[in-house]
């Protein structure tokens, strides 16, 4: 372990010395969230035709497989989903909302010197600007190493609290669990819920469990000695190139240092300023309202609920 520490210090010092006084880098990350549970549930649903399955899998691919760009300097970074042209349609707003809940949309700005972050989110037609303190993860160094591309990387783990508005780690309840909970409700309410579910042919929020915490595995390279990484990840003595975040894997596929084309790294200023907890409460409340509305109206109303001011 002592040999590992000395090696890490040597690499870190060597890398710092080789860096210019001012620099900027760009990293491309591929994010993929597991959809195994959803596909297994579709396999057990005889009402889903091959055409419906194909359409659902295409939508899941758009929501769960994304490409992000991280532009960074010594103290700050912006992390944003790669822009793609989307065909116009009546479900565009709903797809943007779902994309946001699955980690996409908006620009994630981190300032590791000030230990703050700012991210703009659009939810149900209303713009929010989340401004809060960066969560400080208690990283544990494992001593394991591997190469990612041309970079020597070291492994670290941590336990992270899950934001209530981030549904990437939502787990579909087993059918027995959902039935047991349903039996505990009032009879009439259960009938409405089952009827609504049958008419919609989809999943309800009551069918999901959200974990409170998840274990994070990160691989970082001290050859790029900055406190940065994708999304809200930071705090390691080198750029984070890979993160295993519960059901999501974020992997760096391209890295460019000191390009002639510089990017302005600054936070967004659009939207109603809220703390992360406030935003989580708004999202969960509106999702519950949607669930109740679908139950009451049998899934017939496909319009979005207007956000209050």
Domain-wise residue ranges, the chain? 2-135+249-296
Determine the pLDDT at residue 211.
Answer: 76
What pLDDT, in 10s, does the model give residues 221-248? 999 999 999 999 999 999 999 999 888 9
Residues in the chain, pLDDT under 70: 1-22, 35-44, 46, 57, 84-105, 170-208, 294-295, 297-309
* DSSP per-residue letters across 93-140: HHHHHHHHHTT-SSEEEEETTTTEEEEEEEETTEEEEEEEEPP----E
Model confidence, pTM: 0.73
220, 229 in Cβ contact below 8 A?
yes
CA distance 200 to 205: 13
Q: Phi, psi (5° rounding) for residue 238?
A: 165, 160
pLDDT tens-digit map of 17-71 = 444 446 799 999 999 987 666 666 666 676 777 777 777 767 777 777 899 999 9
Residue 43 makes CB contacts below 8 A (sequence gap 6+) with none
Compute the distance between CA of residue 90 and CA of residue 92 in angstroms, rounded to an integer.
Answer: 6
């Amino acid at each position: 372990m002592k040999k590992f520490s000395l090696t890490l210090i040597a690499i870190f010092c060597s890398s710092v010395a080789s860096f210019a006084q001012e620099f900027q880098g760009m990293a491309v990350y591929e994010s993929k969230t597991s959809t195994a549970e959803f596909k297994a549930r579709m396999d057990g649903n005889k009402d889903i035709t091959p055409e419906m399955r194909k359409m659902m899998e295409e939508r899941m691919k758009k929501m769960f497989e994304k490409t992000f760009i991280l532009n960074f300097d010594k103290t700050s970074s912006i992390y944003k989903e790669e822009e793609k042209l989307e065909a116009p349609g009546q479900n565009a707003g709903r797809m943007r909302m779902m994309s946001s809940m699955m980690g996409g949309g908006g620009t994630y700005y981190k300032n590791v010197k000030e230990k703050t972050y700012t991210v703009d989110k659009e939810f149900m037609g209303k713009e929010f600007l989340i401004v809060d303190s960066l969560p400080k993860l208690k990283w544990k160094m494992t001593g394991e190493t591997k190469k990612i591309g041309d970079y020597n990387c070291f492994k670290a783990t941590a336990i992270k609290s899950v934001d209530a508005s981030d549904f990437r780690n939502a787990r579909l309840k087993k059918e027995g669990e959902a039935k047991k909970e349903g039996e505990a409700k009032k009879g009439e309410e259960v009938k409405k819920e089952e009827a609504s579910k049958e008419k919609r042919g989809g999943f309800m929020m009551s069918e999901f469990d959200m974990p409170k915490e998840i274990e994070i595995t990160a691989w970082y390279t001290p050859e790029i000695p900055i406190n940065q990484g994708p999304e809200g990840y930071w705090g390691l003595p080198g750029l984070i190139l890979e993160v295993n975040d519960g059901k999501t894997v974020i992997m760096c596929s391209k890295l460019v240092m000191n390009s002639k084309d510089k990017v302005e790294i600054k936070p967004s200023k659009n939207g109603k300023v809220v703390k992360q907890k406030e935003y989580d409460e708004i999202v969960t409340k509106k999702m519950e309202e949607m669930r109740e509305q679908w139950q009451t109206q049998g899934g017939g109303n496909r319009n979005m609920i207007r956000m209050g001011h």
